[in-house]
Amino acid sequence: MPAIDPSHIPANLRPVMEAMCATGAQLSRVIARGPLAGKLGAGVGENSDGDQQKALDVMADEMFEAALKGTGVKYYASEEQESVLTLDGDGTYALATDPLDGSSNIDVNVTIGTIFSVFAATGDAESSFLRPASEQICAGYIAYGPQTLLAVTFGAGTQLYVLDPDSGAFVLAEEKMALPVAAKEFSINSSNRRHWTGPVLAYVEENEAGKDGAKGKDMNFRWVGSLVAETHRILTRGGTFLYPSDGRPKYENGRLRMVYEVAPMAFLVEQAGGKATDGVRPILSLTAGELHERRPFVFGSAEEVDRIADLHG
């Protein structure tokens, strides 16, 4: 049986999606075993950008790399790898991935995930990824939580699949997700409040004022610390997410990586009717200058994202 219902997947991308979903299902079983599968949240070193790697980060990276060989993926770029790997010399795709997003939540049984993005491969490895985000041909995430879910876009809407534990396959649950227009929630790491820029602080204070302020309605605050979990909540019930630049050293451009996290999530969100910016400029109009480049990231319900841009002047 195929790892995913192929009926809504472009024929040329089916081998790639089969490999991603089969590996996602396998990884889901490992995660479900928790400590019975070993110390998945144990630190095992640092990646090329200085972030601590967990055992599950490395395991997931190795699993996806192995599974994608022979699927037409020429270039493989991972948040856990310093440089681009060549998988299939005659392949036609370039796939970028954060193999295990939210790894700080491994030990506390909170939703974590895999994020991926696909471009058409060019002649040069890095240049296949350092191009306008609008040139993505596919983007998605697999969320490992109470349900294991796949959200994916091929440029014609955002589809939602659920992993059926009985069949072991991802089954289409929603052909076109629609991000709710009305927002009742916002998500930002409030522990960084003292470092925020004026526009970000103004937006948060506007939300905190609730029905007594300019917004005229109460807003709920949310923060999970897992981009996949935050994105799925917002795609499902609306709201906004902010990981802005701030005043701390090395946070001038935020902390999320353009190639592995920001660009694919922006593609998914916009295909579901939302918006995604760096605070002002649409993410899909931007190009990463280097493989592990970081960007500020704001996404969610369109009117809220526009309001944040307005506050930036």
Domain count, the chain: 2
Does 21 share its domain with 57? yes
The pLDDT, as a whole number, for residue 46 is 57
Q: Name residue 52's beta-bridge partners.
A: 46
Region 110-127: mean pLDDT is 95
Q: Of the candidates 143, 174, 205, which is a domain's last residue?
A: 174
Residue 179 covered by a domain? no
Residue appearing with tokens 């072991």 = 168
Q: Which tens digits make up the pLDDT trace of 122-175?
A: 979 999 999 999 999 999 999 999 999 999 999 999 999 999 999 999 999 999
Does 194 share its domain with 164? no
Does 221 share its domain with 133? no
Q: Of the candidates 122, 139, 174, which is a domain's last residue?
A: 174
Region 178-194: mean pLDDT is 95
**Is residue 208 part of an annotated ligand binding site?**
no
**Is residue 189 part of an annotated ligand binding site?**
yes
The pLDDT, as a whole number, for residue 105 is 86
The pLDDT, as a whole number, for residue 259 is 98
**Is residue 261 part of an annotated ligand binding site?**
yes
Does 82 share its domain with 125? yes
Q: Mean pLDDT across the chain, nearest whole number?
A: 94
Does 36 share its domain with 149? yes
Does 41 share its domain with 146? yes
Does 27 share its domain with 150? yes
Q: How far is CA 241 from CA 247, 263, 308, in A?
A: 19, 14, 11
d(CA 236, CA 264): 17
**Does residue 202 carry a pLDDT above 70?**
yes
Residue 220 covered by a domain? yes
Residue 16 covered by a domain? yes
**Does residue 50 carry a pLDDT above 60?**
no
The pLDDT, as a whole number, for residue 43 is 65
Does 138 share its domain with 270? no
The pLDDT, as a whole number, for residue 53 is 79
**Does residue 6 carry a pLDDT above 90?**
yes
Residue 101 near residue 251 (C-beta atoms within 8 A): no
Side chain identity at 186, as an amino acid letter? F
**Is residue 79 part of an annotated ligand binding site?**
yes
Distance from the Cα of residue 87 to its chain's centroid: 23
Residues in CB range of 148: below 8 A, 6 or more apart? 24, 25, 28, 142, 162, 163
Region 67-82: mean pLDDT is 97
Does 48 share its domain with 163? yes
Does 110 share its domain with 222? no
Region 192-199: mean pLDDT is 97
Structure tokens at 50: 């200085």
Structure tokens at 103: 């790894």
What CATH code is carried by the domain that includes residue 305? 3.40.190.80
**Is residue 101 part of an annotated ligand binding site?**
yes
pTM of the model: 0.95
The bridge status of strand 73-78 relative to strand 93-101 is: parallel
Does 163 share its domain with 196? no
Band of residue 1 on the pLDDT scale cut at 50, 70, 90: confident
What CATH code is carried by the domain that includes residue 24? 3.30.540.10
For residue 115, count CB atoms less than 10 angstroms from its CB and return exposed for 0-12, middle for 13-18, buried for 19 or more: buried
Boundaries of domain holding 96: 6-174
Band of residue 42 on the pLDDT scale cut at 50, 70, 90: low
d(CA 287, CA 297): 14
Residue 302 covered by a domain? yes
The pLDDT, as a whole number, for residue 41 is 62
Residue 237 covered by a domain? yes
The pLDDT, as a whole number, for residue 112 is 96
Structure tokens at 181: 């227009």
Q: Of the candidates 174, 203, 221, which is a domain's last residue?
A: 174
Residue 55 covered by a domain? yes
The pLDDT, as a whole number, for residue 47 is 60
The pLDDT, as a whole number, for residue 291 is 97
**Is residue 65 part of an annotated ligand binding site?**
no
* Residue 150, number of CB atoms within 10 A of its CB: 25
Does 37 share its domain with 156? yes
* Residue 12, number of CB atoms within 10 A of its CB: 11
Residue 1 covered by a domain? no
Q: Which tens digits make up the pLDDT trace of 212-257?
A: 998 999 999 999 999 999 999 999 999 999 999 999 999 999 999 9
Region 89-117: mean pLDDT is 93
Residue 180 covered by a domain? no
Region 164-189: mean pLDDT is 96
